[in-house]
Structure 1
Amino acid sequence: MTDNHPSIQAPDAIAMLRLSAIGDVCHTVPVLRALQDRWPETAITWVIGRLEASLVGDIDGVEFISFDKKAGLGAYRALRHSLARRRFDALLHMQVALRASAASLLIPAHRRIGFDRERARDYQWLFTRERIPPAPRAHVMDGLLAFAAELDADISRPRWDIPVPDTDEAFARRHIPEGRPTLLISPCSSQRARNFRDWRAERYARVIEHAAREHGMATLITGGPTERERAMAAAIEEEAECPVTSLVGETSLKQLFALIRRATAVLCPDSGPAHMGTAAGTPVIGLYASSNPDRTGPYFSRQWCVNRYPEALLAETGKTVEEVRWGTRVRNPEVMDRIEVEDVVEKLDGVVSGEW
């Protein structure tokens, strides 16, 4: 951030650039809401990923421009066409990726605000003129909210208010009727190289059995249409000695969000549904061993996270959380085995007892 940036006046137009992923887009919605609350007459344009737009792209009063990374150069041509002869008072460049920075060049803006130098990886600092203040060990969402603060918005009370169409609410109601306590499990994280976040199917099954026996809870398993996610759901169903309903590959993002809103609790590793749970106001029991929940955990549910990251990090690197770069991950295929069934059951019991 510059030491003496211009005094804030009501902007005519603001552009936000955050393409992906689902969790980070959920973190970005409170930025949008803070700007709307502070500058209700300002036109806001959000350049966003195609899939991510299916979750939040119907928020009123915002222009969403979908950027389809699978379209290659065509995505940039489409963005340039959409923004021809446009100019913004400020661009909030909130994604550290060369793809996003290349897209930022097509967004004309008087102020170009990016991350501080420490967080401006992939040369993002070359594409901006102002920077948010450094925050060496902040949660990801706090880092994004700092962009709204740069435009004089109040970030003290994050809100989401993501719309849910009646048809999607009806879908969720069919699967989670009023009054039925339900545990929603999204067992798989995104598929990335050396990204070891998935827990064992048999351990999910033991939690499901406890939820049914002790709390009378039904269980829904959700996920995408990949073979890996279908196989995980099938393994959990086979292991569990009580009924389980799988909706893997059968929901849109809106339908998933509607289900999460109606669920008693969400159980998942570090993944998009954890942050959808936060946006929906549903307690999230997060499973964290390879990544740090203080950085990427469900924002309002970190007390419900099972956190084995410090011990896993120490075993893998010989260093404490304070001694490594913020965001360091544990790249051990067996790291999630540090989370025991009893750890998760204890958190579930706390949520159900009303401590939330």
Structure 2
Amino acid sequence: MGRKPKYKHLLVIRLSAMGDVAMTVPVLISLLQNHPNLSITLLTKNSFAPIFKDLQRVTVVHADVKGEHKGIYGLYRLFSSLKKLNIDAVADLHNVLRSNVLKILFKSVGVPVIQIDKGRKEKKALTRPTNKVMRPLKSSHERYADVFRRLGFAVDLSQDLVLSKPILPQEIASSIDASSRLIGIAPFATYKSKMYPLNKVELVIRDLLAQTNAQVLLFGGGSKEKELLDTLASKFNSRVVNMTFNVPFKAELDLIANLSVILAMDSGNGHLAANYGVPVVTIWGVTHPYAGFVPYKQPLSNSILPNLDTFPLLPTSVYGNKFPEGYDKAIDTITPDDVVAKITDLL
């Protein structure tokens, strides 16, 4: 049990992206376990609400930043509605322009606000081309935890803070071979520099089907991604199924929780799986595990990196949006054999 908290009702702000939002889950689990009288209002995108479906005492409030809550006046409307909830303190896990506006508004009525330290200076040292400082930085999980600690709460991330594995919904169990081991593959990311080429993903799948009796499930997040994965899945038999848009996000999370292992990029699906204790193999391009975005409780040995001799300036970016000419091809130096070997080891 943690020390007696000063506050009873926290507003937690983390608007995007999905991976960053998912990384709040282990931190919130510890927070709620240590403080049984605490309630949390979580401000995020409505589409992310299912991520928190298994957390008691967490209420998700939708930030409609492209509609009702757009601009200064929209943020004031959002603040006015939040103020009615009798918030005791604010934990800003995002620290962007929108959350800074909300910080000013809450402070104006005497509500304390603590914001995340993103570690921009050390991340710049990690990714700069010269005088690079190659060392593991504090994880985003710990950066989130530090915000709550500064508010006087006890958060201990050394425990196994994972969600319970749910039973597969019938709508999913009937469409896959639930009796076999399930391998998830999520080959997409926000930036191409972080995406393993689909022709190599195809080779990975061929080898996995040859070496295991598992079923491979493909995950994507948009209509274009669904189209690409439909084409990929059509090259195989029923042991490869594209789950993109097949089921609602809530049911998809239940499926991810029941995977034996998932292959993901430096992106959201790996974090969603890690929250359920699923082994995650991550492929990295111009980004690097040292920046602090390794999925929860996943060993560094599960991270597969490009050839650093060929691309000595890696990492060049924290998010994948900055790299010298040609470095977007760094991820191509990772061989399908290396990927398959790591997945089969975890199986």
TM-score where L is the length of structure 1: 0.79
Instruction: Summarize deviations over 1:53-76 as a string: whole Å, max 9, x none.
Output: 232256321232111222124752
Extract structure 1 runs of 4+ deviating beyond 6 A.
324-329
Structure 1 unpaired stretches of 5+: 1-6, 122-134
Secondary structure of the 2:112 match is strand
- Specify the code of the residue in structure 1 equivalent to 2:240: V
Instruction: Summarize deviations over 1:144-177 as a string: whole Å, max 9, x none.
Output: 122233323131325242796x7x7333323444
Are the counterparts in 1 of residues 162 and 277 from structure 2 also a CA contact under 8 Å?
no
After TM superposition, list the pairs within 5 Å mapping 1:48-127 onto structure 2.
Answer: 48-57=44-53, 59-71=55-67, 72-73=70-71, 75-107=74-106, 110-116=111-117, 118-119=119-120
Moved more, 79-88 or 287-296: 79-88
1:40 counterpart (29, 36, 41): 36
Distance 1:9 1:244, change over 3 A: closer
Shift of 1:9: 4.1
Distance in 2 of aligned mates of 1:57 and 1:105: 30
Distance in 1 of aligned mates of 2:321 and 2:14: 23
1:23 maps to 19
Alignment of 1:146 with 2:146, yes or no, is yes
1:128 maps to none
Secondary structure of the 1:88 match is coil
Distance in 2 of aligned mates of 1:250 and 1:115: 36
Shift of 1:290: 1.7
Distance 1:242 1:61, change over 3 A: closer
2:344 maps to 349
After TM superposition, list the pairs within 5 Å mapping 1:1-356 onto structure 2.
Answer: 9-57=5-53, 59-71=55-67, 72-73=70-71, 75-107=74-106, 110-116=111-117, 118-119=119-120, 137-150=137-150, 151-155=152-156, 156-157=158-159, 159-161=161-163, 169-190=169-190, 192=191, 195-227=192-224, 229-240=225-236, 243-294=239-290, 295-301=292-298, 302-308=300-306, 310-311=308-309, 314=312, 317=313, 331=323, 332-352=327-347
Are the counterparts in 2 of residues 223 and 248 from structure 1 also a CA contact under 8 Å?
yes
Shift of 1:208: 1.2
The percentage of counterpart residues that share the same residue type is 20
- Specify the code of the residue in structure 2 equivalent to 1:278: A
Distance in 1 of aligned mates of 2:343 and 2:37: 44
- Specify the code of the residue in structure 2 equivalent to 1:274: G
- Specify the code of the residue in structure 1 equivalent to 2:34: R
State the superposition RMSD in angstroms. 3.1
Instruction: Summarize deviations over 1:315-336 as a string: whole Å, max 9, x none.
Output: xx3xx76xx8877876333122
Are the counterparts in 1 of residues 286 and 317 from structure 2 also a CA contact under 8 Å?
no
Are the counterparts in 2 of residues 79 and 106 from structure 1 also a CA contact under 8 Å?
no
Distance 1:32 1:241, change over 3 A: closer
Secondary structure of the 2:66 match is helix
Distance 1:265 1:58, change over 3 A: closer
Structure 2 unpaired stretches of 5+: 123-134
Distance in 1 of aligned mates of 2:64 and 2:286: 30
Distance 1:118 1:218, change over 3 A: closer
Are the counterparts in 1 of residues 282 and 304 from structure 2 also a CA contact under 8 Å?
yes
Question: Which structure carries more relative contact order (alpha carbon 8 Å, separation 6+)?
Answer: 2
Secondary structure of the 2:328 match is coil
Shift of 1:279: 0.5
Shift of 1:215: 1.1
Moved more, 87-96 or 338-347: 87-96
- Specify the code of the residue in structure 2 equivalent to 1:59: L
Distance 1:182 1:75, change over 3 A: farther
Moved more, 109-118 or 296-305: 109-118
Distance in 1 of aligned mates of 2:238 and 2:174: 20
Distance 1:328 1:210, change over 3 A: closer
TM-score where L is the length of structure 2: 0.80
Distance in 1 of aligned mates of 2:35 and 2:200: 48
Distance 1:106 1:224, change over 3 A: same
Secondary structure of the 1:92 match is strand
- Specify the code of the residue in structure 1 equivalent to 2:62: S
